[in-house]
Amino acid sequence: MQKSIINQIFTRFLKQNPNPTTELKFNSNFELLIAVMLSAQATDISVNLATDKLYKIANTPQQILDLGLNKLNNYIKSIGLHNTKAQNIIKTCQILLNNYNSEIPNTLQELIKLPGVGRKTANVILNTAFNKPTIAVDTHIFRVSKRIGLSNGKNVTQVEQDLLKIIPAKFKLNAHHWLILHGRYTCKARIPNCNNCIIADLCDFNKLSLVQK
């Protein structure tokens, strides 16, 4: 895709939403980390409902450890894979307490060593908590990037590398959230809403659909 088109796409996202951010609710880096860990294969709405209650009782590594595995599991039982997630959260809290003075580390290498924290979660933390221009490729970003024509990568790592290469520096910090929100509300998985899309004239998928009509 031409540089000028990529520039136009992100200029429109910027104009539509100058300060995009996550829809997960949090008041500290620790709360964000736990929310992102819980959000794997779950909706942000379901995570927010659970953390709203949990964080009133426990929102530090020590408090989560004091709560214990069973009670933690009870708070997050409405979220998919909650048993595994609860176990990982307890192990992660122990490491944060022992090795990081209860702070959240700010490098990919350190974050991905925490139980239950993969590359995608780590990139979300680096981007949202530490303002680093990372792009965590989730199911929305993977689909949207390919439809628009930003990448034809075969897996999330290839798409992440393509996006980091082609998105102009000035848009990189917010690109992650613009693409997720676009995928969540407009370029939906089953039926993309091309008639109400602000980048329809720039999108490869839409151009192809028009040719085939």
Residues that bind ligand SF4 (CB under 6 A): 147-148, 186-187, 192-194, 197, 199-200, 203, 205-206
Catalytic residue selected from 15, 85, 138, 213: 138
Residue from 28, 30, 121, 42 nearest 76 by CA: 42
User: Could you tell me the smallest distance in angstroms from the CB atom of residue 195 to ligand SF4?
Assistant: 8
* Residues 60/102, Cβ–Cβ less than 8 Å: yes
CB nearer to ligand SF4: give 91 or 207: 207
**How close are the terminal C-alpha atoms of the chain, in Å?**
23
CB nearer to ligand SF4: give 116 or 149: 149
User: Could you tell me the smallest distance in angstroms from the CB atom of residue 129 to ligand SF4?
Assistant: 28
Q: What are the angstrom distances between the C-alpha of 194 and each of 21, 148, 178, 187?
A: 23, 11, 16, 7
Whether 138 is catalytic: yes
Residue from 109, 170, 167, 139 nearest 43 by CA: 139
Report residue 133 CA to chain centroid gap: 13
Catalytic residue selected from 66, 113, 120, 213: 120
CB nearer to ligand SF4: give 45 or 210: 210
CB nearer to ligand SF4: give 148 or 175: 148
User: Could you tell me the smallest distance in angstroms from the CB atom of residue 194 to ligand SF4?
Assistant: 3
Q: Which residues are catalytic?
A: 120, 138
